[in-house]
């Protein structure tokens, strides 16, 4: 949520920021008009309340000294009715204003490249060599089904298309990777591990910015008015919702959760296999930081995600997303993409974003600065990393001519010493 003061004081900068995203900016004028209306009403109602408070105190005194206050009480009753009517107007304008502001996306940071679509994203670095094969590398679907570790057909029968099913060493590999990543973030990077609910209420979804705009992209439990999380960012960030954080910043949290996305509108795209699915596992990192440090924290967050891939010996590149491609709540975002030879393409496995105070304002997450004054924290999060695509990359990069897969050395201890997924006899 944008600070209303920011809209009042520099509406042009907000308009420019919205245009850079390709978003409409008439909303700025609507907000300013409602804001003006609201303040006018407030002045009126507060003057009357002030009078009521003063007179009511007098009535108390007069009654104690035994005087008759019937007349003035009647007057006050009328004043009370006027106040009630004005209060209702204020509430009405307030909620309209609030709802409107909730629909406005964050303003891109000055360092976010300007551009309307992914073609304007900037590759900031690459790491590792994309592997050369002396045979035609297969895709993970063909590999995984032959190895007996992926079963899309049975998964579709028990649920529907787009829900993956891992089996045997495939599911063990995914479990090992979760453990590997969590251990790294907890032991090396200083994150506190959390195992949160994966179903949350509407306030939480609004706090991180999924609601109101992304309602159609999420799975919903209408009987209970709850939602299935599209990312662990939601429960983890909402850990401090409506709190003044009473511990030193920064606070780092990491969580493994399944994630659920309807991918409405993505139907029809070529998305065979595990690359775009309705349910996937992910290890997420979330930071609550002092605003002065948030851009440094973004770089180290990105570094934490990169280290996972470096340890696994996978080739990746880092993209700085342009203003038209960053998410609703983000001010700046890096994506990390893994090379997947079977796809002959890069796969996004991590998004590391600085939301500045956008989520903190919505969710009411504050801290006390060195003067004891309450301020909104800055929140950040990044995938560290998303699993099915990581598994895809490991399978496709590690494949041998005979269809077996050699696993990265770093994961072998987590596999109980198993270093290869063999073809079934």
Partner RNA sequence: GGAGGGAUGGCUGAGUGGACGAAAGCACCGGUCUUGAAAACCGGCGACCCGCAAGGGUCCGUGGGUUCGAAUCCCACUCCCUCCGCCA
Our finding on whether 50 is near RNA (CB under 7 A) is yes
366 near RNA, rule: CB under 7 A: yes
Task: Select from 80, 148, 291, 313 the one that contacts RNA (CB under 7 A).
Answer: 80
The DSSP secondary structure of 245-292, one letter per residue, reads --SPSPEEEEEEEEEE---TT-TTS---TTSS-SEEEEEEEEEEE-GG
Total of chain residues touching RNA, rule CB under 7 A: 32
CA neighbours closer than 13 Å in the CB half-sphere of residue 16: 8
Strand order in the sheet with 378-386: 122-127, 316-320, 332-340, 345-354, 378-386, 279-289, 251-260, 192-194
43 vs 160 by CB, closer to RNA: 43
Smallest gap from residue 70 Cβ to RNA (A): 9
User: Among residues 12, 26, 54, 160, which is the contact residue for RNA, using CB under 7 A?
Assistant: 54
Q: Which is nearer to RNA, 186 or 245 (CB)?
A: 245
- Which one of residues 61, 82, 125, 154 is an interface residue with RNA (CB under 7 A)? 61
15: left (phi over 0), alpha (psi -120 to 50) or beta: alpha
Where b means 16+ CB within 10 Å and e means fewer, 69-87 reads eeeeeeebeebeeebeebe
Please state, as a whole number, how many other Cβ atoms lie within 10 Å of the Cβ of residue 35.
18
Choice from 9, 24, 39, 188 touching RNA (CB under 7 A): 39
Among positions 68, 134, 187, 246, the unique one binding RNA when judged by CB under 7 A:
246
Q: Tell me which of 11, 19, 32, 49 binds RNA, using CB under 7 A.
A: 49
Among 73, 103, 159, 344, binds RNA (CB under 7 A): 73
Which window, 19-27, 49-57, 352-360, 405-413, contacts RNA (CB under 7 A)?
Answer: 49-57
Q: Smallest gap, in angstroms, from Cβ of residue 291 to RNA?
A: 14
Distance (Å, whole) CA 161 – CA 166: 14
Give whichever of 45 and 169 is closer to RNA, judged by the CB atom. 45
Give yes or no for a contact between 361 and 279, defined as CB atoms under 8 angstroms apart: no
What letter would DSSP give residue 131? Answer: P
- Position 43 contacts RNA (CB under 7 A): yes
Cα–Cα dist 362/344, whole Å: 41
Phi and psi of 148, rounded to 5°? 75, 25
Q: Does 95 bind RNA (CB under 7 A)?
A: no
Number of H helices, E strands in the chain: 12, 16
Cα-to-chain-centroid distance, residue 127 = 26
Which residues pair with residue 316 across a beta bridge?
Answer: 127, 338
Nearer to RNA, 39 or 157 (CB): 39
State phi, psi for 74 to the nearest 5 degrees.
-65, -40
Site for RNA contains 244 (CB under 7 A): yes
Interface of this chain with RNA, residues 147 to 206, rule: CB under 7 A: none
- The answer to whether residue 91 forms part of the interface with RNA (CB under 7 A) is yes
Q: Is 125 in the site for RNA (CB under 7 A)?
A: no
- Comparing CB distances to RNA, the nearer of 45 and 166 is 45
Chain residues in the site for RNA (CB under 7 A)? 4, 39, 42-43, 45-47, 49-50, 52-57, 59-61, 63-64, 73, 76-77, 80, 84, 91, 244, 246, 366, 372-374
């Amino acid at each position: 949520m944008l600070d209303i003061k920011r809209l009042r004081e520099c509406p042009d900068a907000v308009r420019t920021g919205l245009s850079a995203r390709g978003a409409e900016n008439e909303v700025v004028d609507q907000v300013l008009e409602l804001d003006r209306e609201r303040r006018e009403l407030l002045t009126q109602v507060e003057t009357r309340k002030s009078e009521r408070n003063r007179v009511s105190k007098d009535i108390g005194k007069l009654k104690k000294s035994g005087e008759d206050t019937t007349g003035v009480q009647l007057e006050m009753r009328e004043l009370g009715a006027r106040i009630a009517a004005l209060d209702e107007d204020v509430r009405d304008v307030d909620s309209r204003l609030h709802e409107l502001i909730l629909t406005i996306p964050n303003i891109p940071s000055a360092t976010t490249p300007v551009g309307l679509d992914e073609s304007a994203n900037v590759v900031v670095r690459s790491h590792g060599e994309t592997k050369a094969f002396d045979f035609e590398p297969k895709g993970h679907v063909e590999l995984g089904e032959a190895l007996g570790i992926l079963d899309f057909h049975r998964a579709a029968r028990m649920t529907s298309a787009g829900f993956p099913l891992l089996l045997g060493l495939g599911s063990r590999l995914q479990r090992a990777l979760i453990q590997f990543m969590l251990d790294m973030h907890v032991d090396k990077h200083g994150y506190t591990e959390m195992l949160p609910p994966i179903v949350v209420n509407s306030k939480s979804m609004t706090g991180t910015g999924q609601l109101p705009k992304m309602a159609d992209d999420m799975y919903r439990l209408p009987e209970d008015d709850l939602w299935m999380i599209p990312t662990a960012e939601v429960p983890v960030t909402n850990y401090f919702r409506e709190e003044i954080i009473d511990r030193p910043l920064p606070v780092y949290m990491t969580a493994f959760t399944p994630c659920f996305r309807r991918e409405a509108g993505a139907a029809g795209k070529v998305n065979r296999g595990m690359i775009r699915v309705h349910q996937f596992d992910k290890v997420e990192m979330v930071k609550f930081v002092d605003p002065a440090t948030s851009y440094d924290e973004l770089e180290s967050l990105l570094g934490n995600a990169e280290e996972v891939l470096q340890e696994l010996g996978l080739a990746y590149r880092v993209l700085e997303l342009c203003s038209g491609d960053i998410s609703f709540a983000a001010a700046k975002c890096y994506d990390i993409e893994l090379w997947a030879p079977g796809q002959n393409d890069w796969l996004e496995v991590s998004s590391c974003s600085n939301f500045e105070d956008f989520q903190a304002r919505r969710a009411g997450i504050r801290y006390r600065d060195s003067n004891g004054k309450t301020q909104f924290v800055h929140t950040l999060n990044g995938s560290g990393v998303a699993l099915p695509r990581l598994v895809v990359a490991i399978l496709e990069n590690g494949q041998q001519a005979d269809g077996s897969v050699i696993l990265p050395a770093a994961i072998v201890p987590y596999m109980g010493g198993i270093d290869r997924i063999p073809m079934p006899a």
